[in-house]
Amino acid sequence: MNVLLIGSGGREHALAWKISRSPLLKNFYAIPGSSGISDFAQCVENISVDDNAAIVNFAKSNAIDLVVVGPEAPLVNGLVDELSTAGIKAFGCNKAAAQIEGSKIFAKRLMKKYNIPTAEFEVFDNVDDAKKYIREKNAPIVIKADGLAAGKGVIVAQTLEEALNAVDEMKNFGAAGSKIVVEEFMDGEEASVLSLTDGKKIIPLVAAQDHKRVNDGDQGLNTGGMGAYAPAPIVDEKISKLVEDTILKPTIASLKAEGITYRGCLYAGLMIVDGVPKVVEFNARFGDPETQVVLPLLEDDLLKLMDECATGNLTTDKLSWLNQSAVCVIMASGGYPKSYKKNLPIDGIGKAKSLGALVFHAGTKISDGELVTNGGRVLGVTMTAPTLREAVDKVYRCVEVINFDNVHYRRDIAARALK
Ligand code: AMP
Ligand code: GLY
């Protein structure tokens, strides 16, 4: 198969790594790709991921059999719909389905209508009403911008004052903040369950846990994700079954009832509250950095699975997993998720790889022949090992041999699961 991957982040690097291991793969391209993805695919940097027409043309001219869409923006932007009109198969959901991530209000209303467990909520389009409601409910309480805000449009307010300020801050998220969701605070432990669906059947991948806050001990601002591990022991057999029966299957069915066929990856961000999984959010794509720990454990051919999802004919019922644990530590630019420096030389990746790490590039580029930092999240370093303890010890040994100025990473990835 000729495959075109859309995206450039750590998640897409992990997807490229896994796809490249498929015996079905013939030619492999990426738009725009990255200095990491270029190990596996020919990167086409002069086409933008927002340019649906150019992507369709590229796919046609290069006899692409399957387009794999990594990030949410092209999904929300209808790329898969345009590819489909042109007769090109894609792994990723259509524009209508992508609302499940693109609009928190769409997702919350869907869950409410079809009794899918989630936090209670109200939607506001004006600041005064939102504040009045917040005063009635009191803190802790959660304030969210409606649209895509790169994972940063959510404020979990511990005090009433913080909550009221959060409503004012929503203006900073531009269009994404013009409608506000105010939500009940769920007290529990988070987990991410990514799943593959052909629109009828839905198969969960092994559960992962992300670390969204920038600092150790879950302190500081929310980020895109500072590290992850899998499998997440919090999602035991009983909870897995509840996730499938009360969340994943009903979500695909309820979308269907609304006239929407969802194909691709459905990511359920969960809060496990007293043994009951509830939805924090849905994403219409693989998680980042969850993908960097889930795919290294998957034994099946991902390309075959994706192709079957895209065709609407997923033949597999159960996936095979390595009996191991995986841990990914994100190495970020100091300052992230606020402002940070770029173009800082990165050393030691070769050494880390020789120690057995998978090093996924999230924000790097080649400048004058040298690998330099080019984003907030720079690298994701993943290790797999027979136990989580070993995976954690090994991953930090690898992280320590990689260096760039002002590097920041959390030292407590997976610590909770080790307790
Ligand atoms: P979201 O973008 O909706 O996933 O929210 C980002 C993060 O905010 C989540 O990963 C949670 O840590 C936290 N969060 C969001 N909604 C809630 C909630 N209702 N209760 C508690 N924490 C939440
Ligand atoms: N790891 C969080 C996300 O992918 O949205």
Query: Are residues 282 and 199 both part of a single domain?
Result: yes
- Would you say residue 109 lies in a domain? no
Kindly state the percentage of the chain with pLDDT values over 90: 91
Q: The domain spanning residue 89 has which CATH number?
A: 3.40.50.20
- Residue 179: what pLDDT? 85
pLDDT greater than 90 at residue 178: no
| DSSP string covering 372-402 | EE-SSEEEEEEEEESSHHHHHHHHHHHHHH-
Q: State the Rg of the chain over Cα.
A: 20
pLDDT-derived band at 153, boundaries 50, 70, 90: confident
Query: Are residues 76 and 145 both part of a single domain?
Result: no
Query: Are residues 157 and 91 both part of a single domain?
Result: no
Query: Are residues 286 and 195 both part of a single domain?
Result: yes
Q: CB within 8 A of 136, min separation 6: which ones?
A: none
pLDDT greater than 60 at residue 152: no
CA distances from 384 to 164, 208, 301, 311, 356 (A): 44, 13, 18, 32, 9
Query: Are residues 289 and 205 both part of a single domain?
Result: yes
How far is ligand 2, taken at its centre, from the CA of residue 205, in Å?
A: 15
How far is ligand 1, taken at its centre, from the CA of residue 258, in Å?
A: 26
- Would you say residue 111 lies in a domain? no
pLDDT greater than 70 at residue 317: yes
- Residue 145: what pLDDT? 83
Q: The domain spanning residue 144 has which CATH number?
A: 3.30.1490.20
Q: Identify which ligand lies nearest to the alpha carbon of 286.
A: 2
- Residue 104: what pLDDT? 86
- Residue 386: what pLDDT? 98
- What's the average model confidence in pLDDT over 398-404? 98
Q: Whose CA is nearest to atom 5 of ligand 1?
A: 154
pLDDT-derived band at 169, boundaries 50, 70, 90: confident
Residue 283 contacts residue 267 (beta carbons within 8 Å): yes
- Would you say residue 285 lies in a domain? yes
**Candidate of 118, 121, 154 to mutate for ligand 1, largest count of ligand atoms within 8 Å of Cβ:** 154
Query: Are residues 167 and 198 both part of a single domain?
Result: no
- Residue 146: what pLDDT? 78
pTM: 0.95
- Would you say residue 39 lies in a domain? yes
Domain closes at, from 139, 155, 184: 184
What is the SS3 assignment for 232? coil
Query: Are residues 221 and 255 both part of a single domain?
Result: yes
Who has greater pLDDT, 148 or 77? 77
- Residue 220: what pLDDT? 93
- Residue 149: what pLDDT? 58
- Would you say residue 217 lies in a domain? yes
Query: Are residues 168 and 252 both part of a single domain?
Result: no
CA distances from 8 to 130, 224, 316 (A): 37, 15, 29
Domain closes at, from 250, 279, 310: 310
Question: Cα separation of 90 and 74, whole Å?
Answer: 12
How far is ligand 2, taken at its centre, from the CA of residue 377, in Å?
A: 12
CA distances from 54 to 30, 44, 195, 313 (A): 13, 11, 29, 28
- Judged on CB neighbours under 10 Å (0-12, 13-18, 19+), 29 is buried
- Residue 383: what pLDDT? 98
Query: Are residues 165 and 193 both part of a single domain?
Result: no
Query: Are residues 159 and 52 both part of a single domain?
Result: no
- Residue 148: what pLDDT? 62
What would the pLDDT profile of 116-146 be if each residue is shown by its tens digit? 999 999 999 888 999 999 999 999 999 988 7
What would the pLDDT profile of 318-365 be if each residue is shown by its tens digit? 999 999 999 999 999 999 999 999 999 999 999 999 999 999 999 999
Encoded tokens for 258:
């609304």
- Residue 150: what pLDDT? 55
How far is ligand 1, taken at its centre, from the CA of residue 145, in Å?
A: 12
What would the pLDDT profile of 181-204 be if each residue is shown by its tens digit? 999 999 999 999 999 999 999 999
Query: Are residues 198 and 128 both part of a single domain?
Result: no
pLDDT greater than 60 at residue 77: yes
Q: The domain spanning residue 405 has which CATH number?
A: 3.90.600.10
- Ligand 2 atom closest to residue 225's alpha carbon, by position in its atom list: 1
CA angle 284, 290, 291 (to 5 degrees): 75
What would the pLDDT profile of 366-376 be if each residue is shown by its tens digit? 999 999 999 99
Residue 140 contacts residue 156 (beta carbons within 8 Å): yes
Q: The domain spanning residue 273 has which CATH number?
A: 3.30.470.20
- Would you say residue 101 lies in a domain? no
Q: Identify which ligand lies nearest to the alpha carbon of 285.
A: 2
Q: Which residue has the tokens 């035991």?
A: 236
- Would you say residue 396 lies in a domain? yes
Query: Are residues 287 and 388 both part of a single domain?
Result: no
409: domain range? 325-418
Kindly state the percentage of the chain with pLDDT values over 70: 97
Domain closes at, from 184, 212, 229: 184
Total tally of structural domains belonging to the chain: 4
What would the pLDDT profile of 270-301 be if each residue is shown by its tens digit? 999 999 999 999 999 999 999 999 999 999 99
Cβ of 210 less than 6 Å from ligand 2: yes
- Would you say residue 320 lies in a domain? no
- Residue 86: what pLDDT? 98
pLDDT-derived band at 170, boundaries 50, 70, 90: confident
